[in-house]
Structure 1
Amino acid sequence: MEKRLFDLTKMAKFDTNEPQKVMVYKSEHTIAGMWCLEPGQEVFLHVHPNADDVWVCLEGESGSYFVGEGKEVPISKGMVVLAEPGQPHGMRNTGNDRFVFIGFAAPISIETERLDK
C-alpha cells in the first residue's frame, strides 16, 4: 500500500534560495510533483506542448498564476488551475507565507518549453 498513499505534509521541503519541487509519484501514465515556494519565489512561465498540467493549491493565501502574454490572475489555497497542452503557465508566491501546490501531468513523457514573460 505504501506506493499508493502519500503524506504531503511530510514531503514538503523549502529552500530560501530557490523553489523546491518534490516528486510525489510517477506512474506509467501520470506524474505528480509538489512545488514548495517561499515568499517571492516563482515557477517560470512555460508550456507543455504534449500534456495537461493540473495544479491544486494546498497552502498559501496569495499567489499569482501566469497565463501568458504578461497576464496574471490571483490564486490561493483551495483553488485548482488547468493548463492544457500548449497553454502558458507559471506561478509566483506574492504573499508573506509559504505557498504549496501539487501538479499532476499526463500523459507522460512530458515536454517542457520555457517562455519569456
Structure 2
Amino acid sequence: MWRGFDRGGTVTRVFNSAAHVWPDHQAPERSLIFQSTDSAVAAWILLPGQSIASHRHPGGQDTWVVLEGEAEYLMGNGESCILRRGDIAVATAGQIHGAHNHGQVPFLFISLVAPAQAGFELADD
C-alpha cells in the first residue's frame, strides 16, 4: 500500500515540492509527500534560527536532498558540516543527524526515509 497526494488530494506519482512547503514560525515544518511500506518522503523547511534536534533512525536510512538555503548538518560526536543547495546527506541506520539554520533565508530539503517505519530516537549529541 502506498499513498501520495497532490495539492488537490488526487493520488499521484509526481510531486511538486513547493506545493508541500508551509513555513511555520513556531517550529520546523515537516510535510509528508508520499508514504509506502518501503519509504516515506517529506518536505522540510527550517526558517532562520530553527533546528531539527539530533536524532537517529535505528531501523533505516534518512537521505536529505537540499533544495534551497543552507544549514549546519549535525552528525554526532560534535561533528558537523554545512549543507547547501544541491547537497545530498545520507544517514544510515543508527547514524545521528540533525540541522540548525544559522542563515538569513529558509532551509528547504526533501527527506527520504527507508523503510517508512525506520523508528526515531532523540540523540544526546
TM-score normalized by structure 2? 0.88
| Pairs within 5 Å for 1:1-117 | 2-60=11-69, 62-117=70-125
The one-letter code matched in structure 2 to 1:47 is R
- Matched to 2:53, the amino acid is F
Rounded Cα–Cα distance in structure 1 between residues aligned with 2:57 and 2:11: 30
Distance (whole Å) between structure 2 residues aligned to residue 113 and residue 88 of structure 1:
9
Please report how far the alpha carbon of residue 16 of structure 1 lies from its aligned counterpart in structure 2 after TM superposition.
1.1
Percent identity between matched residues is 32
Q: Which stretches of structure 1, 4 residues or more, deviate above 6 A after TM superposition?
A: none
Give 3-state SS (helix, strand or coil) of 2:48's partner. coil
The two structures, once aligned, show a CA RMSD in angstroms of: 1.2
Secondary structure of 1:68's aligned partner: coil
Q: Any idea what the Cα deviations from partners look like across 1:51-78, whole Å, max 9, x if unmatched?
A: 0110000010x31000001221111111
**Unaligned regions of 5+ residues in structure 2, if any?**
1-9
